[in-house]
Amino acid sequence: MADSDETRPERISEAEYAVMEVLWQTSPASAADVSDALAKDRGWSLATVKTLLGRLVAKQAIAAAPDGRRYLYSPLIKRADYVGGESKRLVERLFGGRAAPLFAHLAEQEALTEDDLAEIEALLKELKQ
């Protein structure tokens, strides 16, 4: 049975997802820890990161636990669960809920490498067993 939208947090923006990736790799983490992790690639200020963390807390995607004068943040959803839900939404919205047209589209756009094809082939063999 599919999860209802009520059990999922609100949609996470691309910027919020970058914060989630840091927390999935290292948590609990302070706002400064997250900011440091994102500084090289994103160049965001600590204030920007704190805003994104606040949004994620409001969306119930992460928890904030007091730790002295700061907060430590931890994800409330697993990465695999989030990615699975988003993948399913994408396939439903763009390909009528069917994965085969997605793979056909990727193949037509030459977006699949030989390694991708080998992984897909191995996965299909495993699923058929």
Architecture of domain 79-128: Orthogonal Bundle (1.10)
> What's the whole-number average pLDDT of the chain?
86
C-alpha separations of 117 from 71, 112, 123 in Å: 44, 6, 10
Residue 70 β-bridge partners: 67
In the chain, residues under CATH classification 1.10.4040 are 79-128
pLDDT in tens, 22-74: 999 999 999 999 999 998 889 899 999 999 999 999 999 999 999 999 999 99
Which CATH class name applies to 10-75?
mainly alpha
pLDDT at 2 over 70: no
CA 55 to chain centre: 15
65 vs 119 pLDDT, higher one: 65
